[in-house]
Amino acid sequence: MGDAKRIAVLIGNSVYPEFPKDELDSLSTPLNDIDALKKTLEDPSRGNFKSVTCLADKDALSVQDAIEETIIEAAKTDSLALIFYSGHGILDPTNRLHLVTHDSKPGRYTSTLTLSRIAEYVNVHSPQKLVVLLDCCYSGAGLRDFELKGSGIATGRRFEIDRTVTQTFGSLEGKGIVIVTATNSIQQAKANKKCGFGIFTRHVLDGLDRLSAKRRNKKDITVRDLYDYVHRKMSTENPDQSPMIWGREAGNSLVIAEALFMGQNQPAVSPKTGWFMLREERKPILDLVGPSYILDPNYHFLDWNTSFEYIVAHPLGLKRGEHVATFLEKLQNYDDVQKRSNVTFRPNFVPSVDIEILELESKSFGLIVFDKIATQIIGQNGRVKAWCVHLNISSVQRKRQFWCQMEQNLRTDVNWSAYATQYDRVIGAFSEYKNLVSTLVTKIGKPEKCLDLGAGTGTVLFSLLAASERTHILAVEKNEAMLDCLLRKLDDLKEISLKKRVLVEKGDITTCLRRENDNSFDGCVMLNVLFALDYPQEVVGQVFRVLRPGGSLVLSTSHVGTDINRLFSAIQRELQETGRWNVQTERAWRDAQDRNFEMRRLINRDTLSEIKSYLTTAGFAIEEFEPGHYVGCVVVVKAVKPYDSTQPRPTLVR
């Protein structure tokens, strides 16, 4: 289906003021038909039509003009054109079909629409892809001209007209022209007043909305697929109507709809916009024990919580901004989920709450069964702002390992959140800490594009902004509380130009880096982050990939020799010497110290040799390796991505 263009004109006529009611009464469904079909055709996950024009109760001339304009546009842009009519169809004394419009008059056929008129437009403008759907009485009679093969009514001038029309239609066979009708030439088309649609149109909508017309293993729906589905359904459920098709072979190649998850081929909300959209809403939603996530209105990931990160997102390599289909496609029961989604989520109906079972085969924990609960978040305008999805854990194959890991992950996240509230007051104000930040920023220089990984409350970020007027920064932080502090500081900036140079992403570092292109950054800073990573080698490898040759990674990190008591004693001494030691700062100092002690397993995890190995294994050349910073508690490292031997170094222009 790809980049094919599609345009449509949908005609619905419900009232016929020129006709006596006992001859042509008003209809209740045509306007519903065109409204519902418009939604389906315009939806990117179904019809993906670029232009859909609805004509409700319009006069014959307006209808003819709109049809011709659509055919002209289709011929000019090589688009597929769809013409749909829902209303009354009548037969003239020669049994030719006429589609009745708002200004049509009894016994006067110049103010009606005939298929011969459409054929004339096709013959003049030569569109290569045209589909006509007719939901009206006697609609099969419209195919009569295609079948006559030159025979006509032997009445002088009228005979010549019929023969011309017939020859015109005959010349169109095999040219990508398809007509599908709701009935044969003698049947009446009926409506289902309970559902509010014409019976034929309802099956068309089901075939497209629910993807019921999709054949197994196909990713799109052709006109022939749609006809076969509608014919099959009406044969069993509505045998009084027999749909017909002309141009059957062309219908095999004309694609009328896609078979995608809703929103799958629509752009995601940008990370920056998405974050600000939901800064307030996400707090009561995502801070849950079980895995949870938020989707934008087009079902792309906006955010997820710690549990989902560790259980699902990181192992599967999911990225914020991707469509939820990237997760669903990896489920063990994906086929059932997809089939159900096609029926439950469709352009003309989206549930406010959705519950289903999801089955995930985890490398670490075996089969995990979730009871998913998805709920709409409604904005102030009454429209869907986002989706909150919670995965209740129904069963886990390796239960003990699973819950132990869950506890550890959540405990770590809570510690970082608690640490964030005291970070700036205790750590950020410490002179040795300020010196450390200054050292890293000086070593990284003035890169044009720089990563700030594990950005915390933004200390490095704001120092980089101050150090260079040209540096643009991507700051990544996964902890909610830390990120909230950083964003509040950004909000307080008065210089708009500074804000424009910063993009903040919430998420696991590895997950965020996966979405970045190779060789796309000039520098990367990691301030006391490496020790806290579950997979440090993987992160360093991703940093190497996204840095350009010659780009630098500057980091500070703790090691097995880091003495937490020594660090906090130095912080306490400075607070006392500068007169800032009081009840409030003492409480903050103790809280910060407690959080560091709870994380000491990670803080003292790596040896200096292991830190070097992370870098060299990834491919970096270590230029500087300086233990002894930050009261002797961290090592400062500068590593450079080498130039390929076949790649010339850039020439400096002076």
- 345 vs 350: CA distance, rounded Å: 5
What's residue 594's pLDDT?
81
What's residue 187's pLDDT?
95
Secondary structure (DSSP) of 114-169: -HHHHHHHHHHH--S-EEEEEESTTGGGGGHHHHSTT----STHHHHHHHHHHHHH
Domain boundary assignment for the chain: 6-256, 271-397, 415-640
- 385 vs 399: CA distance, rounded Å: 36
What's residue 288's pLDDT?
54
- Asked if 126 and 170 touch (Cβ cutoff 8 Å), the reply is no
> Does 6-256 match 415-640 in CATH topology?
yes
Length of the chain: 654
- Asked if 33 and 15 touch (Cβ cutoff 8 Å), the reply is no
- Asked if 83 and 130 touch (Cβ cutoff 8 Å), the reply is yes
Beta strands in 264-337 (DSSP E): 292-295, 301-304
Q: Which residues of the chain have pLDDT under 70?
A: 1-4, 145-175, 272, 275-289, 418-419, 421-422, 645-654
Q: What is the pTM of this model?
A: 0.65
- 424 vs 419: CA distance, rounded Å: 9
Question: Which CATH class, in words, describes the domain spanning 271-397?
Answer: alpha beta
- 290 vs 567: CA distance, rounded Å: 36
Question: Which CATH class, in words, describes the domain spanning 415-640?
Answer: alpha beta
- Asked if 101 and 112 touch (Cβ cutoff 8 Å), the reply is yes
Secondary structure (DSSP) of 511-534: HHHHTSPTT-EEEEEEES-GGG-S
Percent of residues in the chain assigned helix, strand, coil, to nearest 5: 40, 25, 35
What's residue 548's pLDDT?
97
What is the C-alpha radius of gyration for the chain, rounded to an integer number of angstroms?
33
DSSP 652: P
CATH 3.40.50.1460 is held by the domain 6-256: yes
